[in-house]
Amino acid sequence: MRRLAKLIALTVLLGYAGIVVAVKLSEKGMVYHPADRLVTPPPASFALREKTVRYASADGTTLSAWIVPAAPGDSLGMWLLVCHGNYGNIGYGQRPEFYAHARDTGLNLFAFDYRGFGASEGEADEQGMYDDALASWHYLTDSLHVPPSQIVIFGHSLGSGVATELATRVDAAALVLEGAFTSVVDRGQEIYPVLPVRLIGSQRFESLQKMPRVAEPKLFLHSPEDDVIPFAHSERLLAAASAPKALVPVRGGHMDAFSLDKAVYFGALADLVRRVTPAPLAVQGAGESSARDAAGGDR
């Protein structure tokens, strides 16, 4: 009987170890979902006037991005540097609709694909994605000559981890996070409570640990109805953040709150942008002209 008990215990232990190894080996596939590498042009009805640009990350990996200019008469001269989530690419799903709404608030947009997503080369990994965000920042500041004070960093879902890291490296006008997590391993541990996710996870995106080092004004947008990343994650991030900061609850799911609660969502974003926008002469002198120049060519 004792031998049988030991055999059962050993079988259970080996089975558990096998599951842990399988999860570890498939980790990147669970975190990153580039889907189709083909970037579909946005619907003509959005009239984004997007221009595709390509540039290199720190290790030489070629990245691809869309520049979406604000309407000339509506431009605030401010830019939204968009770090998207872990599915698809810059043209995936409802993202073009998001760009259109953000553009209509007077923002110019720079939406890039991480390595391994869309038309960007390489394979996705945490450190590489951080480097890609920094390369995108430098494209804005060095190639388009946009002052850092006119760039708002935006991150949705997985992109919140990328955006938070970038905000610790640069001096931006503000940081906006939607549907953000405290860390990937925290969320993974919630989903798989019997597995040692925090111990074995290599793709970590530890935003909660980094948040106290983010000096920029911070806006958190999150739906209490979000069933992908619980609202409590943003509450914990808010508690760890220094002022000025705000958490604005929005209605909807993880992907569609910007559309279902447009007035609240973009009202909060517009209010933040107005507060951090530099003096009018600085705005007219840099951001608007940079957007016009960048969007001058065809896609």
The tens digit of pLDDT for each residue in 91-146 reads: 999 999 999 999 999 999 999 999 999 999 999 999 999 999 999 999 999 999 99
What is residue 297's predicted lDDT score, i.e. its pLDDT? Answer: 45
Residue 87 per-residue DSSP state: B
**Would strands 79-83 and 51-56 be described as parallel, antiparallel, or unpaired?**
unpaired
Distances from the Cα of 49 to the Cα of 81, 133, 218, 287, 296, angstroms: 17, 23, 29, 17, 9
Q: Name the residue range of residue 62's domain.
A: 32-294
- Classify 194 in phi/psi space as left (phi over 0), alpha (psi -120 to 50) or beta: alpha
Looking at per-residue pLDDT, the higher value among 283 and 31 belongs to 31
Closest CA to 121 of 42, 55, 75, 35: 55
Decide if pLDDT at 227 tops 70. Answer: yes
Task: Tokens 């970037």: give the residue.
Answer: 39
What is residue 23's predicted lDDT score, i.e. its pLDDT? Answer: 61
With respect to residue 4, please indicate whether it lies within any of the assigned structural domains: no
CATH number at residue 282: 3.40.50.1820
Distances from the Cα of 278 to the Cα of 34, 51, 78, 270, angstroms: 36, 26, 9, 14
With respect to residue 14, please indicate whether it lies within any of the assigned structural domains: no
What is residue 27's predicted lDDT score, i.e. its pLDDT? Answer: 83
With respect to residue 17, please indicate whether it lies within any of the assigned structural domains: no
- Residue 110: helix, strand or coil by DSSP? strand
For residues 289 and 110, what is the distance between their CA atoms, to the nearest angstrom? Answer: 15
For residues 276 and 172, what is the distance between their CA atoms, to the nearest angstrom? Answer: 10
Confidence of residue 15 (pLDDT cuts 50, 70, 90): low
What is residue 2's predicted lDDT score, i.e. its pLDDT? Answer: 74
What is residue 299's predicted lDDT score, i.e. its pLDDT? Answer: 39
With respect to residue 101, please indicate whether it lies within any of the assigned structural domains: yes
36 phi/psi in degrees, rounded to 5: -70, 130
For residues 210 and 205, what is the distance between their CA atoms, to the nearest angstrom? Answer: 9
What is residue 20's predicted lDDT score, i.e. its pLDDT? Answer: 60
Distances from the Cα of 245 to the Cα of 68, 234, 277, angstroms: 27, 12, 16
What is residue 73's predicted lDDT score, i.e. its pLDDT? Answer: 78
With respect to residue 23, please indicate whether it lies within any of the assigned structural domains: no
Q: What is the overall mean pLDDT for the chain?
A: 90
Decide if pLDDT at 283 tops 50. Answer: no
Give how many domains the chain has, as a whole number. 1
The predicted-structure confidence for 62-92, as pLDDT tens digits, reads as follows 999 999 999 887 788 999 999 999 999 999 9
**Would strands 62-68 and 108-113 be described as parallel, antiparallel, or unpaired?**
antiparallel
How many Cβ atoms are within 10 Å of 21's Cβ, its own excluded?
11
Decide if pLDDT at 32 tops 80. Answer: yes
Decide if pLDDT at 225 tops 50. Answer: yes
Decide if pLDDT at 295 tops 70. Answer: no
What is residue 274's predicted lDDT score, i.e. its pLDDT? Answer: 95
With respect to residue 11, please indicate whether it lies within any of the assigned structural domains: no
With respect to residue 10, please indicate whether it lies within any of the assigned structural domains: no
With respect to residue 13, please indicate whether it lies within any of the assigned structural domains: no
> What average pLDDT does this structure show over 237-253?
99
For residues 32 and 51, what is the distance between their CA atoms, to the nearest angstrom? Answer: 26
